Amino acid sequence: MPRCQNIDPKIVRSAKFIEFGKIPVNQYNKSLHEERQNFTNEDLIRIYHDMVVIREFETMLNLIKTTNEYMGIRYNHPGPAHLSIGQEAAAVGMAYTLDKDDYIFGSHRSHGEILAKGLSAIHKLEEDSLYTIMKTYFGGSTLGVVENGFSGSIKELALHFLLYGALAEIFARGNGFNKGLGGSMHAFFTPFGIYPNNAIVGGSGDISVGAALYKKINRKPGIVVCNIGDASMGCGPVWEGISFAAMDQYHTLWEGDQNGGLPLIFNFMNNLYGMGGQTMGETMGYDILARVGAGVNPDMMHAERVDGYNPLAVIDAFRRKREVIREKRGPVLLDTLTYRISGHSPSDASSYRSKEEIEAWQKEDSILTFGNTLFNEGVAGAELLQQIRDEAADILTHILKLSIDDSVSPHLDLVKDPDLIGKMMFSNGSYDRMEDGIPEVLMPLSENPRVKSIKTRERFHKDKEGNPVSKARLYQLRDGIFEAVIDRFFKDPTLAAWGEENRDWGGAFAVYRGLTEALPYHRLFNSPISEGAIVGTAIGYGMCGGRVIAEIMYCDFLGRSGDEVLNQLPKWQAMSGNIIRMPVVIRVSVGSKYGAQHSQDWSSIVAHIPGLKVVFPATPYDAKGLMNSALQGTDPVIFFESQRIYDVGEMFHEGGVPEGYYEIPIGEPDIKRSGDDITILSIGATLYPVMKVADILKEKWGMSAEVIDARTLVPFNYETVIQSVRKTGRIVLTSDASSRGSFLKDMAQTITELAFDDLDAPPVVVGSRNWIIPAYEMEEYFFPQPGWIIDAIHGKIIPLKGHKPESDWSAGKSLKLNREGV
Ligand SMILES: Cc1ncc(C[n+]2csc(CCOP(=O)(O)OP(=O)(O)O)c2C)c(N)n1
Ligand SMILES: [Mg+2]
């Protein structure tokens, strides 16, 4: 259904003022006495206990890092440890109301948050399910270490399990929560609702929005809390995440029970510093961080500053904000004021702040203050408080011993299996749907106007008489992608898609035309112009268990989603210890005609990044089969589509593009024409000029060229290419990417290694020039042309009788261009 929201000039042109309401700052003012009806003694003592455990955990790590010793136990931890001594009340207050269905995301400084959330989950879970969670995690290997010789309750065992899983992870041990592949800045444990912490400042800013979308779209219980630092408010992904989370459409266009805001709290752990930069007074201009909420939406994001030095103030805020979320009025922004007594890292000399300042905050230390309050109110005697602190130290001494004992806590054994991490990069799953259920659609597939119109199209480029089919009647490459996408929407209830102009516009270049009619808003929607968050939210949605297609309108805009594509999407499967799967397809349209910032083929850049599958089909048959595979899998796939060839018909597959479902395995190149004299390997749209080259070679020199369409960059089965080279002894590689540092060069080098003895000449790469891409009228001087390929064959592989080259492929020219860097 197309959107219908008329914009009336009379209304939008009328004069008025924007009124901002009040944003509460540290308004909590209840005494413990007044809070007694909300907390039992046991609750209050638990809050104290949880803060103490976190303090001891971080103190132990600080001592290990700075003195290599804790309680007489010596250990050298070479890795990072960004500690949160001072921030315990903020962490415990944040986690207190949350249970395992509530997800937290974090930052490089999240040990305290992990422990607080874990402790809260342990408190709320029944013993049976708690034990099952521990027993089934990595087949019980983490539990086995702490269970051995343990005599206590399940809840006490769970405390040991939590501390051990986190510490072993920090020390890169195989029994850690993420098999030691996450480490201090990325440790997490999803069964307790602890989702990835992120070493990239602000990295969780958009990923957490995707998690909230997952909960909303799939009607899952719980809320999402994005714990990030005050300095991350300067980061693009955070601003983009906030815009994405606060879109009007959740209230104006999403229908039925989907109408309403996201279940999300951006909780800024505001310790007033970046590393050394002061966010208030130096590096930011917000003065009080909560102010930012005022500009975001008319609800001002329900923004508030809370005193994160008082756990009860934070709990109070979370209780109130949960109500806001229950009423579907999210997202919420909390500015939780706290202070980091510890350095940014243990090597930090705190040269950027005065001793007086640190001492002033130490005087108000939350554990000290809260302990005194409990004592004064008669909740706990000094002895009990001391006992809690002593027990925490005892447990941590025990856990430290276990965590550094190589016999029970070894690192992953890369001696025994040097390829172990390689095996963890992809999950290689195959699922029709990520969850059972009935997909929500607005009409039967057969009644969809686009589906009906495609039915009438010719699925091969020539009709039965062998005449070319007109464009209007031709089944095009874009139709292949559409068929795979709509088919999956009718199969997988979790599938959602978003990007710029994905809905009424019909998707960029009309690939999605017809989808709007078939799908409700919550399964297909227009995003803000936020390429970072388009990908970041897809990552969050995928890691929570949903399948998703995100779209980047032009490949050139991938730069805007650099961190998400290069640092987040490829890494979480392996960094989680394979706890997480990532069924995320990023469609990337490679432009043409629009010049230097709209026409680049950056497939080589993503192919360089370990952890991404990279696909680039050039025919309708391949596009449909590869999209089907991408959408059947559980790995991140960057799916390149060239705008030059969206309207080509199928020229290669006999019988045209099948109507039914089929998959083409990702990683298999395809021989588009057989030949004996030379191999031409092409990636993407250059397939078509290459076919011209093959014709010319045949006509003029009687040479038969074997044309191989790579179809995929990663993974890539070289067998097909090597067998071809064995036969032809010669190979040219071509694509629209600028040649320097391209994936073609990587392929040429691999082919040289694998088939050196079979080659008559070195593999020759014919890529685009190392320039800006000029206007359409001059594109033929930039992108590989049939003439260039023939000249390159003539100049570098085999002289072609009588050929007069127009381009220079001499060694001298190559040296000159490289010397000049162009
Ligand atoms: C994108 C990025 N830039 C810089 C860094 C280096 N760095 C690590 S922590 C940090 C300061 C972050 O401050 P804030 O977000 O307030 O969190 P805090 O450290 O105070 O908990 C910086 C600059 C990084 N990890 N990621
Ligand atoms: Mg900070």
Q: Which residue CA neighbors atom 15 of ligand 1 most closely?
A: 229
Question: What per-residue confidence (pLDDT) applies to 203?
Answer: 98
The number of CA neighbours under 13 Å toward the Cβ of 726 is: 7
Q: What is the mean pLDDT of the chain?
A: 97
- Going from the Cα of 345 to the center of ligand 2, the distance in angstroms, rounded, reads 12
| Ligand 1 atom closest to Cα of residue 228 | 15
Helix (H, G, I), strand (E, B) or coil at 654: coil
Q: Active-site residue among 398, 598, 608, 803?
A: 598
Q: Which residue CA neighbors atom 17 of ligand 1 most closely?
A: 229
* 471 token code pair: 């464009």
- Exposed / middle / buried, residue 382 (Cβ in 10 Å: 0-12, 13-18, 19+): exposed
Tell the residue number behind the tokens 């897809």, with chain if given: 538
Ligand that comes closest to the CA of residue 110: 1
Q: Phi-psi region for residue 149, left (φ > 0), alpha (ψ -120 to 50) or beta?
A: left
| Ligand 1 atom closest to Cα of residue 271 | 20
Helix H, strand E, coil C: the string for 126-144 is CHHHHHHHHHHHHHHHHHH
Segments of 399-554 assigned E as strands: 496-499, 524-526, 548-552
pLDDT in tens, 688-708: 999 999 999 999 999 999 999
Report the distance separating Cα 242 and Cα 261, nearest Å. Answer: 12
User: What separation in angstroms does the CA of 418 have from each of 192, 219, 421, 741?
Assistant: 32, 42, 8, 28
Report the distance separating Cα 71 and Cα 390, nearest Å. Answer: 12
Phi, psi angle pair for 170, to nearest 5°: -60, -35
Longest dimension (CA), the chain: 102
Residues paired with residue 673 on neighbouring β-strands, in sequence order: 707
| Ligand 1 atom closest to Cα of residue 233 | 15
- Going from the Cα of 232 to the center of ligand 1, the distance in angstroms, rounded, reads 7
Taking the CA atoms of the chain, what radius of gyration do you get in angstroms? 30
As residues whose CB is below 5 A from the ion ligand 2, the structure lists 229-231, 271, 273
pLDDT in tens, 731-743: 999 999 999 999 9
* 750 token code pair: 């691999």
Least Cα distance to 387 among 378, 395, 398 occurs for 395
Q: Enumerate residue ranges in the chain where pLDDT < 50.
A: none
- Going from the Cα of 226 to the center of ligand 1, the distance in angstroms, rounded, reads 15
Report the distance separating Cα 106 and Cα 661, nearest Å. Answer: 41
| Ligand 1 atom closest to Cα of residue 109 | 21
Report the distance separating Cα 131 and Cα 141, nearest Å. Answer: 13
| Ligand 1 atom closest to Cα of residue 232 | 15
Question: Which residues surround ligand 1 with Cβ inside 6 Å?
Answer: 107-109, 199-201, 229-232, 271, 273-275, 344
Confirm if 770 and 822 have CB atoms less than 8 A apart: yes
- Going from the Cα of 113 to the center of ligand 1, the distance in angstroms, rounded, reads 16
DSSP of 542-583: HHHT--EEEEESSGGGGGGGHHIIIIITTTHHHHTTS-----
Report the distance separating Cα 674 and Cα 795, nearest Å. Answer: 23
- Going from the Cα of 277 to the center of ligand 2, the distance in angstroms, rounded, reads 9
Report the distance separating Cα 133 and Cα 338, nearest Å. Answer: 33
Question: What per-residue confidence (pLDDT) applies to 364?
Answer: 97
Question: What per-residue confidence (pLDDT) applies to 392?
Answer: 98
Q: Are strands 705-709 and 670-673 parallel, antiparallel or unpaired?
A: antiparallel
Say if pTM beats, i.e. exceeds, 0.75: yes
Angle CA 502–505–507, to nearest 5: 40
* 805 token code pair: 């080259």
- Going from the Cα of 198 to the center of ligand 1, the distance in angstroms, rounded, reads 10
Question: What per-residue confidence (pLDDT) applies to 271?
Answer: 98
Pocket of ligand 1, candidates 108, 340, 566: which has the most ligand atoms within 8 Å of its Cβ, to mutate? 108
Report the distance separating Cα 146 and Cα 162, nearest Å. Answer: 10
The answer to whether 598 is a known catalytic residue is: yes
Report the distance separating Cα 326 and Cα 338, nearest Å. Answer: 27
